[in-house]
Amino acid sequence: MADHPKQALNDYRKRWGIECLFGDAKTRGLNLEDTHITNPEKLASLIVIVMLAITWAYRCATQTMGMKAIPRKSHGRREKSWFRIGLDALRDWIVNCPKAAAHAWLEKAPRRSMISSKNA
């Protein structure tokens, strides 16, 4: 790996993105670990819901920020993460305009039959 510093940097960049995603799902955002769920099926369902929430938060951040850069504090770090900007916007939208938020979700959510293939 030391022979290929550019590859090592690219690998680290990808890993850092994954670490940030886990942080968003856990301590810096949705507090997944606070659920204490151990049932694998329930945990799998919760993880799907968390990933949908993260995706929606990122979409809200994109809508909120557009192409603007996130402002930086005096020490150089960003004021908020892209996820936090989106989660705050999403939370405000759901609290202040719940019908509009639900309508937007229903417009974007894929339609699926409520009848399982076993019953068809």
**115: pLDDT strictly greater than 90:** no
Backbone region of residue 99 per phi and psi (left: phi > 0; alpha: psi in -120 to 50; beta: other values): alpha
Token pair in block for residue 88: 């705050």
pTM exceeding the 0.85 threshold for the entire prediction: no
> Tell me, what's the pLDDT at 120?
47
Lowest mean pLDDT among 6-10, 24-28, 30-34, 115-119: 115-119
Token pair in block for residue 64: 């909120």
Backbone region of residue 66 per phi and psi (left: phi > 0; alpha: psi in -120 to 50; beta: other values): left
- Average pLDDT on 47-68 reads 87
Mean pLDDT for all residues in the chain:
82
